[in-house]
Amino acid sequence: MNDVTTLNTCCNAHGELPVEQGRQVILQQLEVVSTTEFVSVRQVAGRVLAEDIDSPVDVPGYDNSAMDGYALRFADLNDSEQTSLALAGQALAGHPFFGAVAAGNAVRIMTGAMMPDGTDTVVMQEIVTLEGDLEGSGVIIPTGIKKGQNRRFAGEDIAKGSVVLKAGVLIQAAEQGLLASLGLGEVPVKRRLKVAVLSTGDEVCLPGEKISKGQIFDSNRFSLLGLLASLDVEVVDLGIIADQPALLEQAFSKAANEADLVLTSGGVSVGDADYVKETLERIGEIHFWKMAMKPGRPLAYGRIDSAVFFGLPGNPVAVMVTFLQFVLPAIKKMQGIKDWQPMTLPATSTCALNKRAGRTEFQRGIFNYSEDGRLLVTISGTQGSGVLSSMSRANCLIVLTDDESDVQEGDQVKIQPLIL
């Protein structure tokens, strides 16, 4: 863990830590979950591959036809005139033609069916004429056929023994299908990351209960649960903890004991809810950062025992933004996903944006496409850090980095779509 003095050397004139630097400091210190487990290929979407997968088979497993048509021996074809061949039978997917095909014969074949022994070429049915007294007893093949055409070779997609997927790949639909196509019933994956979530604050109450004056409903924990839902982690929900030293200590210790990663919200701003800070300082190794960003200036980061700890700010939008900028990359790294990057796209702003230089601002935006296919973005409404409704209307964050100042209508900006 870097100590506060080294971190302070990279702070700006306001004593704030630039976002990118904060992210790097965090990422450097995280370890990947080390336990591997075997999971049914049916359940494996969203998990992270723990080992390289060498293909146990050729894919396709045998030479087969890429077309509905006729399999034949290329050597039987005349060079300069059409060729008449006798029909010896048929090959369907799952129902091969058994036996060798003799000279002068062809076999009716369907897409995916195994190439009969002796044949090397498939001619598509559309260019073949049927002949003979009995319809279909013979076929006439035109000239211009190429040797081996419309034939898929065994191992053409994946050769037996080759590395198909590397450790650290996030298994999504294509990977799930690919693993199944190799005949794997079970797949080695990283165990799920355990993430504990809790809210702090004497004023914070459970939705569904009655509240008194001066109290608010807990929304942060629910935004966090929503964000975590798409990340395939195991959630330990520890509810709301009042600002009392003994209760906080108990909850933080329990969270650190049960989870790899602890997320709290509230109580990390300067001079506010001192019990949270005091408790964290006592039981963990935690830095209280002022991030050069808006929203989300206060952020606590460190460890309690072996668990990684993020104390997110209390304001509802700041919670989501700090999660997306710091916690999301941390989770991806701890899950063992290699080469993860946030998705950012260039877009043209259709409105002017106020921006103070020297910090990164994440403004809530709505992107869409112009008629000529350009990506446009506009602000989604009031940008107060407690205004969740404009976060809900947004489909992206407009990322304005430290060196940028006010944006004029028509300027290029960077956006982060709100898709995890």
- Based on CB atoms, which residue is closest to ligand AMP, 265 or 360? 265
What are the two backbone dihedrals, phi and then psi, of residue 273, each rounded to the nearest 5 degrees? 45, 60
> Which pair of structure tokens corresponds to residue 273?
């809810």
Beta bridge partners of 165: 53
Contacts with ligand AMP: how many residues (CB under 6 A)?
Answer: 19
Cis peptide before 245 (omega within 30 of 0): no
**CB of 167: closest distance to ligand AMP in angstroms?**
37
Residues 22, 267, 295, 329: which binds ligand AMP (CB under 6 A)?
267
> Which pair of structure tokens corresponds to residue 129?
């004429």
Q: To which H or E segment does residue 10 belong?
A: none
| Residue 279 contacts which entry, ligand AMP, Mg ion, none (Cβ below 5-8 A, type-dependent) | none
What are the two backbone dihedrals, phi and then psi, of residue 333, each rounded to the nearest 5 degrees? -65, -45
- Based on CB atoms, which residue is closest to ligand AMP, 272 or 411? 272
Contacts of 194 by beta carbon, 8 Å cutoff, 6+ apart: 233, 234, 235, 236, 258, 259, 260, 261
- Based on CB atoms, which residue is closest to Mg ion, 51 or 202? 202
Contacts of 38 by beta carbon, 8 Å cutoff, 6+ apart: 186, 187, 188, 189
State yes or no: residue 262 binds ligand AMP (CB under 6 A): no
DSSP letter for 209, please: S
Q: Mind giving me the DSSP string for 281-337?
A: HHHSEEEEEEBSEES--EEEEEEETTEEEEEE-SSHHHHHHHIIIIIHHHHHHHHT-
Q: 150 near 128, Cβ under 8 Å?
A: no
User: Which residues within the stretch 173-232 sit at the binding site for Mg ion (CB under 5 A)?
Assistant: 201
State yes or no: residue 267 binds Mg ion (CB under 5 A): yes
- Based on CB atoms, which residue is closest to ligand AMP, 206 or 352? 206
Stretch that binds ligand AMP, among 30-38, 129-137, 179-187, 314-322 (CB under 6 A): 314-322
Stretch that binds ligand AMP, among 117-125, 183-191, 311-319, 354-362 (CB under 6 A): 311-319
Three-state SS at 6: helix
Residues 22, 138, 266, 329: which binds Mg ion (CB under 5 A)?
266
**CB of 193: closest distance to ligand AMP in angstroms?**
22
Where are any strands of DSSP class E within 224-269? 234-241, 261-265
Stretch that binds ligand AMP, among 14-22, 30-38, 160-168, 196-204 (CB under 6 A): 196-204
Stretch that binds ligand AMP, among 64-72, 197-205, 245-253, 359-367 (CB under 6 A): 197-205
Residue nearest ligand AMP (C-beta atom): 314
Stretch that binds ligand AMP, among 105-113, 133-141, 308-316, 358-366 (CB under 6 A): 308-316
State yes or no: residue 266 binds ligand AMP (CB under 6 A): yes
Q: 137 near 131, Cβ under 8 Å?
A: yes
State yes or no: residue 316 binds ligand AMP (CB under 6 A): yes
| Residue 199 contacts which entry, Mg ion, ligand AMP, none (Cβ below 5-8 A, type-dependent) | ligand AMP
- Based on CB atoms, which residue is closest to ligand AMP, 120 or 203? 203
Residues 149, 181, 219, 257: which binds ligand AMP (CB under 6 A)?
219
Three-state SS at 251: helix
| Residue 265 contacts which entry, Mg ion, ligand AMP, none (Cβ below 5-8 A, type-dependent) | ligand AMP
**CB of 314: closest distance to ligand AMP in angstroms?**
2
> Which pair of structure tokens corresponds to residue 381?
């409404």
- Based on CB atoms, which residue is closest to Mg ion, 267 or 284? 267
Q: 215 near 225, Cβ under 8 Å?
A: no
Residues 65, 176, 315, 349: which binds ligand AMP (CB under 6 A)?
315
State yes or no: residue 206 binds ligand AMP (CB under 6 A): no
DSSP letter for 409, please: T
Residues 264, 269, 335, 390: which binds ligand AMP (CB under 6 A)?
269
Q: What is the Rg, in whole angstroms, of the alpha carbon atoms belonging to the chain?
A: 31
Give dist(CA 311, CA 249) in Å, integer.
Answer: 14
| Residue 311 contacts which entry, ligand AMP, Mg ion, none (Cβ below 5-8 A, type-dependent) | none
Please give, one letter per residue, the 3-state secondary structure of 359-391: CEEEEEEEEEECCCCCEEEEECCCCCCCCHHHH
- Residues of this chain that interact with ligand AMP (CB under 6 A) are 199, 201, 203-204, 216, 218-221, 265-267, 269, 272-273, 313-316
- Residues of this chain that interact with Mg ion (CB under 5 A) are 201, 266-267, 273
